Structure 1
Amino acid sequence: MNAIDTLPRSAVNATSPTLVHLSGDIDIATGPALRRRLMNTLAYSTGLLVLDLSQVTFCGAAGLGLLVGVQSRARARGITLALTRVPANVDRVLRLSGLAPHFPTTP
């Protein structure tokens, strides 16, 4: 199961980042719904979209593709996509794939 929680639109202002909490698996089964929700989130994101991955239990190749795709769409809108609270298993996948340097992280 995959869940996404975003701050309500009223809680977002132009100077604060848009924070999205993800949980569960990011894989081929959960990817399409998650992609749609993240694309909708980009519509009202500030200049910084932060994905909190602390509750992500698995990220497969489809999940990596999803992250790259969302990052590409974010850049096209002038939005920086950053990751925070990346679990060790997801960090390992990002490093092994060579993608880690392409995703800024926040504390």
Structure 2
Amino acid sequence: MTAFTTAAPRAHVPDEVRPPAHRRSGHTVVALSGVLDGAAAPALREYLIGALRHSGRLLILDLSAVTSADVAGLAVLIGVRQRAAGLGVTLRLAAPSAQVAALLRATGLGRILTVHPAETAA
């Protein structure tokens, strides 16, 4: 199960996703949890696109509670980064778990996506 937390207004999200909100001045933080895989990818994509529509100039994805990810989950992050750029929004990843950080390094996506060790640094 993947859960999303965001400061943006709630988008239509499947029942297994619970997005309690929190907002920070000038930016939106979306805290992801669980597994970012092919099963979670459609709901994740829909939710993050909705968050982009309501975000400030900076969208931070807090990955600290993400236990694992696969290429489908990473593909969503790349797609959201491209959409964000088109809207003039900067996307940053924060606090990836060890497995997710290793996957970002192994795929080379750590050089494409801006990754910070902690949310506060993003």
Q: Which amino acid aligns with 1:6?
A: T
**CA shift for structure 1 position 52:** 0.2
Following TM superposition, the consecutive aligned residue runs of length 4 or more in structure 1 with deviations greater than 4 angstroms are 8-13
Q: TM-score when scaled to structure 2?
A: 0.81
Q: Which amino acid aligns with 1:65?
A: A
Structure 1 vs Structure 2: percent identity of aligned residues?
41
Q: Which amino acid aligns with 2:74?
A: L
**CA shift for structure 1 position 11:** 6.1
Unaligned runs of 5+ in 2: 10-20
What is residue 77 of structure 1 aligned with on the other side?
Answer: 87
How many residues align? The count is 106
State the distance in 2 between where 1:11 and 1:89 align: 26
Unaligned runs of 5+ in 1: none
What is residue 60 of structure 1 aligned with on the other side?
Answer: 70
- Cα root mean square deviation, aligned: 1.7
State the distance in 1 between where 2:22 and 2:68 align: 29
Work out which structure has the larger RCO, using CA pairs closer than 8 Å and 6 or more positions apart in sequence.
1
Distance change in 2, residues 1:16/1:31 (3 Å): same
